[in-house]
Structure 1
């Protein structure tokens, strides 16, 4: 998902949402309710200056840094993650942690392109150190960041 806002100072582009489908033993494990993992037992943390900071932004629709969405074509749920975009000195790859209940925590690292000081574009995604999406190698029709993780 992209947001574009015009202003007297130029445009702002936030193209960061990353969509992840989770499966275990061939079954989807995310849901709005009655699933192994729901919005109630998932937490997202941004790693900033070596410290985990839980995402809690009550003024946003994705107040916990993610939404659980439903794919209309398949009926399956997926996690729409809004990853960390806080660039630290000499790094363009901020880290996001996703905690699933008390079971496990996964690491998402995104390569961020910043064409101006107000815009952020995710150009590559690693999930637990494995490259899962790359704008340069993904098919052109596949510009939406979407991948599946098997647990």
Structure 2
């Protein structure tokens, strides 16, 4: 009897597996990198007197209302950071994952000088993944994943 129970227990333990290939890997790509330049091509993020990341507020449109984004438990609680890429400073913005019926999310940047810019993005949500496929900045299409490059663009201010 002990041998039978031991054999059954062994079969049960061997047949259990924690591998779930359908849900093994979740990929979330909701960020974009923006370089702000003036009309002379000077990077405005190089000068903290022009654009100071700590003085930019981020809002997400949720159910038609703008809600200020702040998650104190995250490394970047305001949903943005200054990033150096190839020797240039960019503003990395983590876009909203709240989408409307057309799978479009909206993120608003409010600068300390009073400027407000809106970033719209198409977010493809499938199999647990969340991937931005298009980005508009103030209604101008700035990036599409059809180009097969990182979501990065320049804005002239």
The TM-score normalised by the length of structure 2 is 0.80
Q: Which residue of 2 aligns with 1:41?
A: 55
Which runs of 5 or more residues in structure 1 are unaligned?
1-6
Question: Compared with structure 1, are the counterparts of its residues 38 and 11 closer, same or farther at alpha carbon in structure 2 (3 Å cutoff)?
Answer: same
Give me the CA root mean square deviation.
Answer: 1.6
Give the match for residue 72 of structure 2. Answer: 58
Q: Give 2:45's aligned residue.
A: 30
Q: CA deviation at 1:12?
A: 1.2
Moved over 3 A (4+): 7-10
Establish whether residue 15 from structure 1 lines up as the match of residue 29 from structure 2.
Answer: yes
Match of 2:112 in 1: 101
Which of 61, 76, 84 pairs up with 1:70? Answer: 84
Shift of 1:34: 2.9
Bigger strand fraction: 1
Output the TM-score relative to the length of structure 1: 0.83
Structure with larger Rg: 2
Distance 1:113 1:40 in 2: 30
